[in-house]
Structure 1
């Protein structure tokens, strides 16, 4: 095994053969390229440990190559090699998050020079991040105001998440505030976009609809089935795109990430609706009609997601894949997670293994733990960090590491995301009205129309009609729906908690990630 995989990009690579041999004798694997474009393509498809880049190359410079590489793999260490010793270029390079900076002709003693840059690293990265976001701010602003379609919305949201994570490196509270207000402006526009288009997607009147929960398996999971290569579909409950980004580096240690994609969760962005739709390949209204024995409405007694496996098998049969060898595992607690670790090797004989991991249930739904969670995850940054430390030490991580050496493909997805709620809205309803904070359905709902997305006819949203005259309402942006009785108590109890069920970028645009063993 090589100590590390290195790629060296230099248009005069021939003159560096002795350096390459020197590194190879030290136990490194070194692959060389004469231009940045080939290197960028290679990084997309391969796991690399370090990149060495010559700054002045024809076609695309070292710094331009560096920027593209960082877009693909944010945490990949890059060493810039240059003949140019100007301080300006050094600062630019460190601000672009290089790990090291060497002057040509390269000689081992020059590594000492990197100390200065390492000491300055944090400050320069923070400054560069702030300036780069200031430049990007206008682009995002223009994108928001040019009526984005559903694909462009996914890109806008990914960019906002990218900058939110970048901003963690910046110590500028002002810029973080600007980003937060841009994000909330994006959610305001997104709510209008969904209000206008959602019923059309559901009725498929236009023929243009994004991949949503009920089409996820067909278009984003099953196409990756390959004879002799087990496919694992891991559904992590309630995983937002920024939380995925927080655990991505942990996955990247064991797997080669091939594609970071997103899809739209159906409404309500709640487990019993979105997850049943994923496995059934149908909208909730169709599930209720075709499988009345499996469907339960919010106010019915008993578990609402007890028949995912039955729905999945019926779905595969409909798609002509009924003869696949399939396993279905649901992990609701730590013991079930440990059982999964021990059973992983047995799953390698199947074509498709579905693993549903209820991580957020373990984290956030129990009332008694609510206060603890509010303390631990008071904001997005701590929520991400909690997710990363949970995943790193979880049985799921252990289980996946067990198959990382085998020839497998993995698709990681989720059912919906969540949003931190801050703004209470009053809703009045009768006794049958549901208790969820981000959506409600009932017969005599009384609400302020501009504060919610309402469907007087649930069928327009692809939803069952629990009672005659039932309508559904969905909370927008960062709001939560409260009843007038005991209003202040509930407002204070739930404000700043992470909830789901409504319309926001965080709840609806969620990750589906394709990876394979290295």
Structure 2
């Protein structure tokens, strides 16, 4: 352990000599002072790891000294030591952001325990997390190699997200490297699993298939609606499961999570396909047949998600559901403020659909803007920026306005995204689509080992824009680049978050139901 510096401030410091010697024998460097004024001067000139601060001192009290320390913007942990057990003193100390407090008389082991808790906490958490993951590593390895079905894949991914987030707290680069290797192996096996099973899920005769985009409302949302209270279905575009786990505690301040699950996004895992499928309750090939004017293929002019409300109205009519619903799409900050101002009016509807488009904009902006590449450089910072957005978003403000009302809330997404690292060379004609994680066209040239190819789009529930059209999907962390300007595009897009292809992060996505507390 490197030298830990303690500042102990107490007007009766002489009586604490034996305690100070005890700490010094344990390897701590202790500076002792008798009043708050000297302590403040000392802190201006010296770096310390913890301040032990007597609450009751003549001249300037411990609480006043604490306030001055905070004014100096010193992030040093402060342990308040007090004879006074009065509740208002404790409340004031805790409100002033003390790290811990001890009641006099204190014995040396109490002080030592408090110091260990503060100073060694991160190291102890890291050690415990690392040891626990090492034990879990083997069971995850065995699960990956036991031919998991789609339910087991959802559980594997949830465990991987749990450990990824725990590793982030532990700050152990070596173990994170081990974890990333295991996650990459999981994505490799998952891509093989999807290649073997995806087209069979598209058959209505298939008995065993996961809940997917086009069956989300039928299987997960409609059965969860409460006929006695207003229901809100919020779709946050492009929200990965790990991002959901990051914002879940913010939801939990106002709502109680009663069910949390995952479902599979259809391919391509992009807004145009998966979100239209959610609201229509149909596969894209069926939407195109039923709504030929509204459905737009990638190579056609016009917005690709302009008719979600119409598709949803057709879905409830087809399922013979008598539902009075509202539909709100938030594409920018003004839309968000309008949502905040109008949220109470939505209580008059049985079902309120809110599509919120921030996370998708974040992933696209991150590709284009250097500052966001710095802010969201990896999974951990991408989660952090998502949490920061949600906490300060109009969506959170709007939901807080409903926190005291009895409502039923379902949060879901349309697809996730994956950080791409491995370029895959593809050759196509002018009609080939531009998405980096999937392409369709007539004359695609590619290495079949690097992509999932679907020669007959209808087998994957997809429209066939041209007679000879086929689709290819990038797998794992691959991204599809053309030979012209190849090196430029490879470097430009490496480490950006993309969607449309096959990965755990893009395909296994959250759906959660909450009720008012």
Q: Which range, TM-score by smaller chain?
A: 0.7 to 0.9
User: CA 1:367–1:512 in structure 2 vs 1: closer, same or farther (change >3 Å)?
Assistant: closer
SS of aligned partner of 2:156: helix
Match of 2:255 in 1: 255
TM-score by length of structure 1 reads 0.77
Partner of 1:46: none
1:497 partnered with 2:496 = yes
Count of residues in Structure 1 that have an aligned counterpart in Structure 2:
413
Match of 1:69 in 2: none
Paired position in structure 1 for 2:304: 304
SS in structure 2 opposite 1:129?
Answer: helix
Equivalent residues in 2 for 1:234-273, closer than 5 Å: 234-273=234-273
Structure 2 stretches lacking a partner, 5+ long: 1-98, 103-108
Task: Output the CA distance in 2 between the equivalents of 1:450 and 1:316.
Answer: 42
Any residues of structure 2 matched to 1:98-177 within 5 Å, and which?
Answer: 114=114, 116-177=116-177
Q: Which residue of 2 aligns with 1:3?
A: none
Is the contact between residue 324 and residue 350 of structure 2 (CA under 8 Å) also seen in structure 1?
yes
Residue 49 of structure 1: aligned partner: none
1:469-500, Cα deviation, whole Å (9 max, x unpaired): 00000000000000000101111100000000
Q: 1:204 & 1:309 partners in 2: Cα distance?
A: 25
Rg (Cα) greater in structure: 2
Q: Distance in 1 between matches of 2:221 and 2:349?
A: 15
Equivalences for 1:90-489 in 2 at 5 Å? 114=114, 116-321=116-321, 323-366=322-365, 369-489=368-488
Gaps of 5+ in 1: 1-98, 103-108
Name the CA distance, whole Å, in 1 between partners of 2:379 and 2:125: 21
By how many angstroms is 1:110 displaced?
Answer: 8.0
Contact 2:367 2:493 (8 Å CA) reproduced = no
CA contact (8 A) 2:256 2:515 kept: yes
Secondary structure at 1:515's aligned position in 2?
strand
- The answer as to whether partners of 1:364 and 1:370 remain within 8 angstroms in 2 is no
Question: How far apart are the structure 1 equivalents of 2:242 and 2:367?
Answer: 26
Q: Secondary structure at the match of 1:142?
A: helix
Give the CA deviation at 1:331. Answer: 0.3
Q: Secondary structure at the match of 2:449?
A: helix
**Conserved in 1, the CA contact under 8 Å of 2:366 and 2:373?**
no
Q: 1:241 to 1:111 in 2, by over 3 A?
A: farther
Task: Indicate the SS of the match to 1:387.
Answer: helix
> Cα–Cα, structure 1 residues 135 and 367, in superposed 2: closer, same or farther, change >3 Å?
closer
Equivalent-residue separation in structure 2 for 1:362 and 1:164 (angstroms):
24
TM-score (norm 2): 0.78
| Aligned Cα root-mean-square deviation (Å) | 1.9
